Amino acid sequence: MVKLILVLGDQLSPDIAALREADKDRDLVVMAEVAAEAEYVPHHPMKIAFLFTAMRKFAGELRAKGWQVAYTRLDDPENAGSIPGELLRRASETGAKAVIATEPGEFRLIGALRDTPLDMTLLPDDRFLCSHQEFARWAEGRKALRMEYFYREMRRKTGLLMDGDQPEGGKWNFDHDNRKPAKADLFRKGPPEARGDPVLDAVLDLIEARFPDNFGTCRPFPYQTDRAGALRALNHFVEHALPDFGAYQDAMLEGDPHLYHAVIALYLNAGLLGVMEICKKAEEAYRAGHAPLNSVEGFIRQIIGWREFMRGIYFLEGPDYTRRNALNHQRKLPAMYWGAQTRMNCMAQAIGQTRDLGYAHHIQRLMVTGNFALLAGINPAQVHEWYLAVYVDAYEWVEAPNVIGMSQFADGGIVGSKPYVSSGAYIDRMSDYCKSCAYKVKAKTGPDACPFNLLYWSFLIRHRDRFAGNPRMAQMYRTFDKMDETRRKTVLAEAEAFLDRMGQGATV
């Protein structure tokens, strides 16, 4: 009897588990653009446009290979509005009783699929290197879960950058060669241009009409939307940017949103690229003498280390992870995150490019928008929803551990051993943002004082009980305690006044 084969918007890989299990001559592939997925957060229009275009093209590729595909567009009058609803509709049309699906990357959708009355088989998503069971075995009995040790296991498992059983170059991690500030360079090649086509144009019209109020612009649309384009983007990165990826991965420059970053997470997370093909291309570039080891090791670590580690944490910790709030932060996310004016140039830059591209690189996410939210005590659930909505590469399995764990310390220290907080000095060192800011990064108090400077100390003092005993933070507390008392009081009072003004909706 016919079975329904579910392929979700971020499962656009021809060898995805559900398709491998299916019988091309008997089964029906179900793909659907649905309101429930498009609206569970107010996604950036480019994110929805990217996925719907890539889904439509992928369905076309499957049909060309001989699959029967039932594809529902968002504006189809029969659209049931949700993935389970679409499965039930197709089941009643075909008489199918059973569904084969690849496990979704979000507990919400896993639960919704399990709740359908259909005979549901959820197969493990083996596009990842590390299964849930393998991660749980690795984590079991460890006092703390640290990415660095997990990463070494993944290096051994994949053989990437290995010299026998030793790491290439004698070390696992070459980060001490990285983290330089960058200079403006008009000849730096960004990602390859997008090529317009009728499928994309139709989707852009649909999204602009259906989601006119969502934060973010849709045109000009900068991304690739099929496997061939994603491969072009990967090759372009390896050729032009990978050699400098390591040295400048933490740098930030006004007007240069990508620097030497790959801008491939959206393709990888949607299934248009695979983990091993990306890493092998990077390794080949190193072995051919095209890219240095510090860059290639750093890049591969992000993918087989951080990315796999984050997914492991999400599934290990369970559905309540996104509601954690270890620091009891309760402030509302300020309107500047949704595009309202701010006098802080670093925030205006990171949020502005997020609006225009649905993209910011790691350090902008972590040390600008994330750092500010943490210092200001914003409710982590609201921060999580923002990140899940605004980035074209955002899916809960990867976004939540990055936000709730790494960025907001709301999991109490599962992902990181200390919070990622810094004063304005870090942003000044790694960027050119402070030069054209209304605040002065060198000012520690007074009307021009950089808000990051004020909030940094007030954060540390608010959470003294929790962090003073952390050996990696003790020095910061000693520095504060050495300030004269008037200065300490002024810093804390000005931080409070800043937060009050922000809470009342003033432009800060």
Interface with ligand FAD by CB under 6 A: which residues?
Answer: 261-265, 268-269, 299, 302-303, 306-307, 310, 361-362, 365-366, 370, 387, 391, 393-394, 398-399, 402-403, 406-407
Q: State the binding partner of 269 from ligand DLZ, ligand SF4, ligand FAD, none, CB within 5 to 8 A by kind.
A: ligand FAD
CA distance 198 to 205: 11
CB 305 to ligand FAD: min, Å: 8
451 binds ligand SF4 (CB under 6 A): yes
Of 58, 35, 32, 36, nearest to 109 by C-alpha is 36
Contacts 24+ apart (CB under 8 A), 183-189: 183/253, 184/253, 184/255, 184/256, 184/432, 188/256, 188/259, 188/260, 189/236, 189/240, 189/241
Judge contact between 191 and 258, C-beta under 8 A: yes
User: Does residue 28 sit in helix, strand or coil?
Assistant: strand
CB of 343 to ligand SF4, least distance (A): 8
Strands 166-167 and 162-163: antiparallel
261 binds, among ligand SF4, ligand FAD, ligand DLZ, none (CB under 5 to 8 A by kind): ligand FAD
Q: Buried b vs exposed e over 189-205: b needs ≥16 C-beta within 10 Å? A: ebbbebeeeebbeebbe
Distances in whole angstroms, Cα of residue 495 to Cα of each of 377, 382, 444, 461: 12, 21, 11, 11
The listed partner (ligand FAD, ligand SF4, ligand DLZ, none) that binds 383, CB under 5 to 8 Å by sort, is none
Cβ-count burial of 323 within 10 angstroms (0-12 exposed, 13-18 middle, 19+ buried)? exposed
Q: Say whether residue 457 binds ligand SF4 (CB under 6 A).
A: no
Interacting partner of 387 out of ligand DLZ, ligand FAD, ligand SF4, none (Cβ under 5 to 8 A depending on kind) = ligand FAD
* Identity of the residue, 46 or 374, whose beta carbon is nearer to ligand DLZ in the bound complex: 46
Q: Binding pattern to ligand SF4, positions 313-352, x when CB under 6 A?
A: -------------------------------xxx------
Q: Which does 118 bind (CB under 5 to 8 A by kind): ligand DLZ, ligand SF4, ligand FAD, none?
A: none
Establish how many alpha carbons lie within 13 A of residue 264's alpha carbon, considering only the half-sphere containing its beta carbon: 30
Stretch that binds ligand SF4, among 166-174, 185-193, 426-434, 493-501 (CB under 6 A): 426-434
**439 part of the interface to ligand SF4, by CB under 6 A:** yes
Which of residues 357 and 455 has its CB atom nearest to ligand FAD in the complex? 357
The residue (of 101 and 441) whose beta carbon lies closer to ligand SF4 is 441
Q: Which residues bind ligand DLZ (CB under 6 A)?
A: 8-10, 32-34, 37-38, 43, 48, 51, 83, 104-106, 109, 395
Whole-number Å distance between alpha carbons of 151 and 435? 38
> How many residues are listed for the chain in this entry?
508
Give the Cα separation of 378 and 387 in Å (integer). 13
Q: What is the DSSP string of 439-471?
A: SBTT--SSTTB-HHHHHHHHHHHHTHHHHTT-T
Which one of ligand DLZ, ligand FAD, ligand SF4, none interacts with residue 43, CB within 5 to 8 A by kind?
Answer: ligand DLZ
Alpha carbons 8 and 455: distance in angstroms, whole number = 42
CB of 373 or CB of 394, closer to ligand SF4? 373
The listed partner (ligand DLZ, ligand SF4, ligand FAD, none) that binds 345, CB under 5 to 8 Å by sort, is ligand SF4
Q: Could you say which of ligand DLZ, ligand FAD, ligand SF4, none residue 415 binds, taking C-beta under 5 to 8 angstroms by partner kind?
A: none
Q: Which residues make up the interface to ligand SF4 (CB under 6 A)?
A: 344-346, 424, 427-428, 433-434, 437, 439, 441, 450-452
